[in-house]
Amino acid sequence: MEKPELCFPQLVNSSCSRLKLPYVELLLYYSVLSVMSALTTVLNLLVIISVSHFRQLHTPTNILLLSLAVSDFFVGLLQVFQIALIDGCWFLGDIVCTLYQYLAYFITSASVGTMVLISIDRYVAICYPLYYSSRVTQDKVMICVCLCWICSSLFQSLILKDNLKEPGRYYSCVGECVFASSYFAGLADLMFSFIVPITVIVMLYLRVFAVVVSQSRAMRSHGADFALQSSVKSKNSQTKAAKTLGVVVVAFLLCMCPYYCVALTSEDNTPLATFVVCLFYFNSCLNPIIYVFFYPWFRKSIRLISTLQILQAHSCDTNLL
């Protein structure tokens, strides 16, 4: 029998074995993940610069998009570590592996929390439009976003406390970088990072789209009434925003659900597990692409950023809407 290739040949009895992948498959993995990492980082950085720089974009909804872009930006950076794990060998040590695991779960948890906040924002805007401007303010949204990130950090610290206390305690061989937790910690993570948020998101958006459909019918029946034109225009704006963010939420669910389903039923080192991980990471790259198609202000801001017009005086006051 052919001896397996070791990650650390000098450690014959304790080293992990390197995964033997065909050269074409290995090259494909490296290429796809490298391109995805670069695109995710650059596109989300454009969203971060756009919302942060232009004052006209400082709205409660866009603050939530900014939070989502920040989490997606860090996902793009963390994909570099996923590239390093393609052949099954980790060369950066136990501490860096533990830090990578913690950041990955922390950022993912913050992203899920932001999606819940986006769903709540659209629910209030569509179902209670008269109270939206008074109840949903920039300051309140910023506080909610900060609490979301803080709670995500504390929650994942509790879930990964054994790994953080003793990095590498669950590794079976040298060169391994895997996540392990107790049964109750895994159950808590499943409940609060997947089942509860997904249930809240789906229920809120079902309610939102039911109201959107009823409002659309009402506006069509009163389309000729001049007195209702301003109200119709406002509702159309909120409805368009709800539909756009609905696409973001649906894309998020389609990319996230397979990952958790496979994590519950499969081993880590399988082609299916590799695919759903890539699909999960792809969602972070997909969000800015959705903004390009649905948000004219994002296309304008990209043009201003790429031509360095944002370096001009008073460029932050540019009209993008």
Q: Could you report the per-residue pLDDT of 41-87, keeping only the tens digit for each?
A: 999 999 999 999 999 999 999 999 999 999 999 999 998 888 888 87
Return the residue matching tokens 């008073």: 314
Please say if the pLDDT value at position 320 is more than 50.
yes
- What whole-number distance in Å separates Cα of residue 256 and Cα of residue 234? 33
Of the listed ranges 136-140, 267-271, 277-281, the least confidently predicted one is 267-271
Beta carbons of 299 and 292 less than 8 angstroms apart: yes
Residue 128: pLDDT band with limits 50, 70, 90: confident
Of the listed ranges 84-88, 207-211, 221-225, 238-242, the least confidently predicted one is 221-225
- Averaged confidence pLDDT in the chain: 83
- What whole-number distance in Å separates Cα of residue 198 and Cα of residue 111? 12
Q: Give the architecture-level CATH label for domain 28-217+234-312.
A: Up-down Bundle (1.20)
Beta carbons of 21 and 87 less than 8 angstroms apart: yes
% of the chain exceeding 70 in pLDDT: 87
Residue 126: pLDDT band with limits 50, 70, 90: confident
Return the residue matching tokens 């009209």: 319
**Average pLDDT in the 138-162 region?**
92
Beta carbons of 137 and 60 less than 8 angstroms apart: yes
Task: Provide the 3-class DSSP secondary structure of residue 318.
Answer: coil
Beta carbons of 25 and 32 less than 8 angstroms apart: no
- What whole-number distance in Å separates Cα of residue 288 and Cα of residue 293? 9
Residue 145: pLDDT band with limits 50, 70, 90: very high
For residue 271, the model assigns a pLDDT of 64
Task: Provide the 3-class DSSP secondary structure of residue 312.
Answer: coil
> What pTM was estimated for this model as a whole?
0.87
Please say if the pLDDT value at position 122 is more than 60.
yes
